[in-house]
Amino acid sequence: MFYKRVIIGLFCFCSLFVTEVQAQLTYKTLAVEFDSGWTYKNLTLIPIRFRAEVYPLIYFPAKVISLREALQNGKLKIKELYFQNDAQVRTLSVENTGDNFVLIENGEIISGGKQDRMIAESKIIYPKEKDQFISVFCIEQSRWDKRAKPFRYAGNGDDDLKRIMDLTNQQQFIWREIDRRLTMKGQVSKTSAYLELNNNNLSLDTSYINFFTKRMQVSDSLFAGFIAITDTAVISCEVFGSTSLTTTSFNSMLRGWVSSALLNGKKPNVSFRKLKLFTDALFENEDKQRIFLQKHGKVFYCEKQIFHIVAHG
């Protein structure tokens, strides 16, 4: 727990020199760049940046890696929990064996175990931290292997499925949506597996990924998050408590938005008035934000500070 004590100490030290406004993720700390959207085909991303004068220098750890990187490098162990010799579907245990903080994100997918799962919360796992639990939903209804497969990173769910997960918090609606899509596409899946459905999509038009990744690489820092738009609708908005978290999360967020743009997207055409109504409800003040997220999204905390907001359009 040495790392945790260091971070807490740094946060307390820095709080002597910064105002309380930095505890908020509202217009007081954020600037939405309405006129500077990045557009490619059916997707527009509108950057949200921290205001330079109030940017939280030590809000959350700068040295953080993604779930994908942690699993690929063997630095994060995922285990199923067992009760009376049977695995628990809705909860997994994780252990960080590495020296970096690991960002686990709401909507990411891990394949393996007795069933494939989509992660239902965002969490920062400290170095060497073990026995941390993460909430998940099953996205493979009919497979329940007697012998669990090794877990591997499998991308990010599209935002339409994430919205159903976040706003209903019920397994049956997730299975129902996957079955609906399989039926619409005339696909047969022995296990009603989302990844089988998604794999047809995961030719994931790499031109989208390449375009937005390059834009991110050549743009200035201080990113707090993005609003994603397709057709006449906001797909979702994701905001983090530090630029390091936003940068770490970008590839994962992008793949979810691209999936949604490919699934139901058209050329983006959202009016400024409609977009401003959405951002005002989310960022005008903390009270409005809390009310809005109760119906339209989720908020996640680390050390009693908000570090990730997901708001669905």
**So what's the pLDDT on residue 117?**
93
CA distance 220 to 251: 17
**So what's the pLDDT on residue 153?**
93
Q: Where are the beta strands (DSSP E) in the chain?
A: 30-32, 38-40, 43-50, 64-66, 76-83, 86-96, 101-104, 108-113, 117-119, 123-125, 132-138, 149-156, 223-230, 233-240, 297-302, 305-312
Question: What average pLDDT does range 116-143 have in this prediction?
Answer: 91
- The pair of structure tokens assigned to 242 is 């530090």
**Whether the Cβ atoms of residue 129 and residue 95 lie closer than 8 Å to each other:** yes
SS (H, E, C) 12-34: HHHHCCCCHHHHCCCCCCEEECH
CA distance 220 to 222: 7
CA 276 remoteness from chain centre: 23
Helix (H, G, I), strand (E, B) or coil at 303: coil
- The pair of structure tokens assigned to 249 is 């999360």
CA distance 87 to 80: 6
Distances (CA, A) of 119 to 42, 83, 106, 212, 261: 26, 20, 5, 24, 21
| Number of helices followed by number of strands (H, E) in the chain | 9, 16
CA distance 90 to 107: 14
Beta bridge partners of 134: 92
For the chain, what is the largest distance between any 2 Cα atoms, rounded to a whole number of angstroms? 60
Per-residue pLDDT of 165-193, as tens digits, reads 999 999 999 999 998 988 887 766 666 68
Per-residue pLDDT of 51-71, as tens digits, reads 987 765 445 666 899 999 999
Q: Count the alpha carbons within 13 Å of 106 in the hemisphere toward its beta carbon.
A: 28
Helix (H, G, I), strand (E, B) or coil at 73: coil
Per-residue pLDDT of 1-47, as tens digits, reads 434 443 433 333 333 233 333 458 999 999 999 999 999 999 999 99
Domain ranges of the chain: 2-59+204-312, 64-201
Given CA atoms 19, 20, 23, 25 in this order, what sign does their dihedral have? negative
Per-residue pLDDT of 205-249, as tens digits, reads 789 999 999 999 999 778 999 999 999 999 999 999 989 999 999
What pTM value is reported for the model? Answer: 0.86
CA distance 36 to 220: 12
